[in-house]
Chains A and B, each alone.
Chain A
Amino acid sequence: MSNLVSFWYRSFYRRTIIQGAVILLVVLVGLALIEQVSNIENVHSPRFSSSIPFITFDFLDARAGIDLSHGLIFDIDSNDSRMDAILNGAWNTIRLAVVLIVFASLLGLLIGVGRLSDFYLIQKACTIYVEVLRNIPALLQIYIWYTVVWFITPPIAEAAHINISFFGANILTDAVIVSNKGLAIPWFVRESQLGLWFLLGFIALVISLIVRRFLQKRQDELGGNQGTNRYPALIFFGALILAYVGLGAPFTTETSSIVSSGAAGAIKNYGGGMVITGEFLAIVVALGFYTASFISEIVRGSILALPAGQTEAAKALGLSAYQRLTLIILPQALRTMIPPLGNQYINMTKNTSIAVAIGFSDVVFATRTISNNAGHSLEIFTTLLVLYLLMALVISSIMNSLNWYVQRSGI
């Protein structure tokens, strides 16, 4: 008996046995699952039972047959493949996530700072905001905003046209058009020289960076101010101005307008500009407000974690409150903020999937439709999983390099 015990306690054997058992278990479970799936597939298509591997992604190459709405950049149509439809959905998710990250971060920053504000009512308002919004399910908030969007927007025939004017003079007519078909704003139209522009811009950038490096070296050797920032900037912007004179603008802007089609012109759509659909708007506002309540907590926590002496010193230097906030407090708080912010961004990207509730065609929506037309739930689910993992991977690597940069440069 005691022999057995001491054998057990010799950790090498213990580790080997326990881990061996775990590996065996995992492999057995995996095999059982695969066996299971292949059985089902075999029954469904008995003739191919042993020759064709049961997992196949070929069906994704077939014609999709559906049109996905809300597409902005790659609007696919029914002749594209199923994989295109899924990627289009993924693209919608990414677009939503990027807009949300910007919007929620700014709002969260505002609220977070507001909660520490000197002004009693602002501080209380921000506290109420956080305590209310983060305690209500995001899905419910999406529904509420969806209802509100329909409630406040006029039918497109009576769309509200908002002009930007300055002392009576119209600067931009139809700057924003609001209706139940969405929000139309001016957008860029690329001109033919856009490619050339990019090339020139890139070359100018490289040259100015080289010059900057050279000047930096000189400054290190000679001391004094050698214009390390001034001259490169001059080169870069000078080149851009030259390009503008020589090539014309890389893109022009175009305001949106309402175009009629169909019988008696009864169908009205936006033409030109960028159209933000009501669904997109409702999701951005709802999820943005929701996530901002979490981000504001991160901001607040990071600011409060700063040693008080920092601000005292800044005050002694005679910086104004605004300067202290932007020059001293926020840059320092940013360091502690980045890792939890990264987690929030990943969570939010996953949360965008809630948008299927109001019919936004994101990646989940697209995969659901495809699997409803083509079966293969398992393969489609795996695709979805990989797409989300990729997105999380991209966000976390961006945030990691940001973190690395901030820690290193010590702004």
Chain B
Amino acid sequence: MAETPQPRASLLARIQHGYRESDASAQLFKTKTHTVITIISAITAIWVLVTLTNWMFNAEWQVILDKRRPFLVGKFPADQMWRIWPGVWIFGALLGLSSGLWMRPGKNTAITIAAGIAILSFLLVELDSTAINLALILLLALAGYVVAVRAQDSPSVRSLISRVTVATWVLLIPFMIILLFVGDAPPTSYWGGIFVNVMLAAIAIVVGTPVAVFLSLGRSLDGYPAIRIASTAFIEVVRGAPLIAWLFMGRFVLPFILPSWFGMNEADVIFRTMIVLILFNAAYTAEVIRGGLQAIPKGQYEAADSLGLGYFQTLRAISLPQAFRAVLPSLINQYIGLFKDTTLVYLISVVDVLEVGRKAFNELDYTGTALEVLVFVGFIFWLVTFSMSAISRRVEANMGLGSR
């Protein structure tokens, strides 16, 4: 469901006085009830904070430090890291550029993300190539941001930079794929860690979204019942079963039902997983996009018709841009959900970051560090997904969605 922009007001405040949310802090001690509740909740909050800090400083974080390579890339050989880092550098620079170009700056967001990265580097205190590379990414992002903000003054430079940025975004995944497979590359069974989660999600998004567009168009196509039924059937059947079931299907059943020239038998698990995730993501994303298509007033189509635009022209110029704009928040939510779902691939023996963690705390040397590992991995996920949703909020704000 598409989130509509909401006036931020507190419920009871609205009921009673029409206060705005930010005013709530002004009434911490307004009445007796307020005072009591404030004190009770403050004590609880302090207790929770103390307990957490206490735990944090007494926890055994050594396992995180020892296992930081597997957490990052799994078994991927150290001398092959040149296949991964360039893509990540470019990603950092792009993030900076894009935020400078299209995002309305938000102080809290930036602070939270920076604090997160600071904590991360605290846990990875040892200075090695990993730490240096992480620092490099931050630096590139910052540089990109500065360049983009500077460019705002001159429209021609800005449009050039934004063109380059968009093009690089589009080419990033193909570029990474080429780097990962060119020459004497390590087999995908060596992929692991957070790298696998990110790669799987990214590919499912980049390849799955165009598929989703076709599916959603197919499902809302008037006058073509066959296409409509086929698209609907695909979407509903895929959405009918949980991802776990489809992952098993992809690994164990797909190779049987696809002809051998499809190469599924020789294809490794990562490839099979990718196919499943692409189709799975496509079915869900199709429904999101369809919501956007339905939100477009009929009059717009009639106008396009009278301008003499054909079906595909109308799509490109009118319906798709509007649909994407309207459903951006839900779309990002879908992508975030997909990213979180990539943890399920452990079930078909892909060693993602969570599985690296589980293997680590099951080692004899690290017995009893389950909570540390799980909290660390949870923190990584939180950082990425929270940043994604924060970014989408800032982009929305910049597109003026909130002020329509």
> Does B associate with A?
yes
Do B248 and A368 touch (CB < 8 A)? Answer: yes
Residue A247 at the B interface, CB < 8 A? no
Report A-chain residues with C-beta under 8 Å of the C-beta of B27. 118, 120
Contacts known (A121-B42, A301-B4, A311-B14); A19 close to B28, Cβ less than 8 A: no
CA A250 – CA B37 in complex, angstroms?
A: 44
CA A147 – CA B370 in complex, angstroms?
A: 7
Bin chain A's interface residue count.
35 or more
Report A-chain residues with C-beta under 8 Å of the C-beta of B344. 139, 354
Do A321 and B15 touch (CB < 8 A)? Answer: yes
Do B224 and A15 touch (CB < 8 A)? Answer: yes
Residue A381 at the B interface, CB < 8 A? yes
Which of A23, A135, A139, A384 sits near B241, CB closer than 8 Å? Answer: A384
Residue A203 at the B interface, CB < 8 A? no
Binds B, one of A31-39, A77-85, A164-172, A191-199: A31-39
Binds B, one of A209-217, A236-244, A385-393: A385-393
Report A-chain residues with C-beta under 8 Å of the C-beta of B18. 308
Do A381 and B257 touch (CB < 8 A)? Answer: no
CA A340 – CA B377 in complex, angstroms?
A: 30
Do B12 and A356 touch (CB < 8 A)? Answer: no
Do B252 and A311 touch (CB < 8 A)? Answer: no
Report B-chain residues with C-beta under 8 Å of the C-beta of A311. 14-15
Residue A22 at the B interface, CB < 8 A? yes
CA A357 – CA B348 in complex, angstroms?
A: 12
Contacts known (A19-B224, A368-B248); A117 close to B10, Cβ less than 8 A: yes
Report A-chain residues with C-beta under 8 Å of the C-beta of B11. 113, 116-118, 303, 325, 329
CA A270 – CA B394 in complex, angstroms?
A: 54
> A116: nearest residue on chain B (CB-CB)?
B11
Contacts known (A135-B336, A136-B382); A353 close to B1, Cβ less than 8 A: no
Q: Which residues, 353 to 368 on A, are CB-close (under 8 Å) to B? A: 353-354, 356-357, 364, 368
Residue B340 at the A interface, CB < 8 A? yes
* Contact digits for B28-70, partner A, Cβ 8 Å, 1 yes 0 no: 1000001001100110010000000000000000000000000
Number of CB contacts from chain A to chain B under 8 A: 184
What distance in Å separates the Cβ of A344 from its nearest Cβ neighbour in chain B? 10
Contacts known (A119-B24, A364-B244); A140 close to B226, Cβ less than 8 A: no
Report A-chain residues with C-beta under 8 Å of the C-beta of B252. 377
Do A22 and B226 touch (CB < 8 A)? Answer: yes
Q: Which residues, 230 to 256 on B, are CB-close (under 8 Å) to A? A: 230, 237, 240-245, 248-249, 252-253, 256
What distance in Å separates the Cβ of B101 from its nearest Cβ neighbour in chain A? 25
Most buried by A among B3, B27, B256, B385: B256
CA A229 – CA B4 in complex, angstroms?
A: 41
> B287: nearest residue on chain A (CB-CB)?
A343
Residue A411 at the B interface, CB < 8 A? no
What distance in Å separates the Cβ of A360 from its nearest Cβ neighbour in chain B? 12
Do A140 and B14 touch (CB < 8 A)? Answer: no
Which of A324, A339, A388 sits near B242, CB closer than 8 Å? Answer: A388
Q: Which residues, 102 to 146 on A, are CB-close (under 8 Å) to B? A: 113, 116-123, 125, 131-132, 135-141, 143-144
Residue B223 at the A interface, CB < 8 A? yes
CA A305 – CA B14 in complex, angstroms?
A: 12
Contacts known (A19-B225, A26-B230, A116-B10); A140 close to B249, Cβ less than 8 A: no
Report A-chain residues with C-beta under 8 Å of the C-beta of B374. 140, 143-144, 147
Residue A206 at the B interface, CB < 8 A? no
CA A305 – CA B1 in complex, angstroms?
A: 14
> A37: nearest residue on chain B (CB-CB)?
B257
Residue A245 at the B interface, CB < 8 A? no
CA A18 – CA B224 in complex, angstroms?
A: 8
Residue B343 at the A interface, CB < 8 A? yes
Report A-chain residues with C-beta under 8 Å of the C-beta of B358. 143
Do B28 and A136 touch (CB < 8 A)? Answer: no
What distance in Å separates the Cβ of B149 from its nearest Cβ neighbour in chain A? 27
Do B223 and A392 touch (CB < 8 A)? Answer: no
Residue B16 at the A interface, CB < 8 A? yes
Residue A190 at the B interface, CB < 8 A? no
Residue A351 at the B interface, CB < 8 A? yes
Residue B135 at the A interface, CB < 8 A? no
> A140: nearest residue on chain B (CB-CB)?
B378
Report B-chain residues with C-beta under 8 Å of the C-beta of A297. 3
State the B residues within 8 Å of A (CB). Answer: 1, 3-4, 6-7, 9-16, 18-19, 21, 24-25, 27-28, 34, 37-38, 41-42, 45, 223-227, 230, 237, 240-245, 248-249, 252-253, 256-259, 336, 340-341, 343-344, 347, 354, 358, 370-371, 374-375, 377-378, 381-382, 385-386, 389
Contacts A116-B13, A303-B11 known; 15 new A-B pairs at CB < 8 A:
A23-B226, A33-B257, A113-B11, A116-B14, A117-B24, A119-B34, A136-B382, A137-B354, A298-B1, A301-B3, A304-B7, A324-B15, A357-B347, A381-B253, A384-B245
- Can you sample 17 A-B contacts with CB below 8 Å? A19-B224, A37-B256, A113-B11, A116-B14, A118-B16, A118-B24, A121-B42, A123-B10, A123-B21, A135-B340, A135-B381, A136-B381, A137-B343, A147-B374, A354-B244, A377-B253, A388-B240
6 pairs of A and B residues whose beta carbons are closest in the complex: A116-B11, A350-B242, A19-B226, A121-B41, A118-B12, A137-B340
State the A residues within 8 Å of B (CB). Answer: 11, 15, 18-20, 22-23, 26, 32-33, 36-37, 40, 113, 116-123, 125, 131-132, 135-141, 143-144, 147-148, 151, 297-298, 301, 303-305, 308, 311, 314-315, 321, 324-325, 329, 339-340, 343, 350-351, 353-354, 356-357, 364, 368, 377-378, 381, 384-385, 388-389, 392
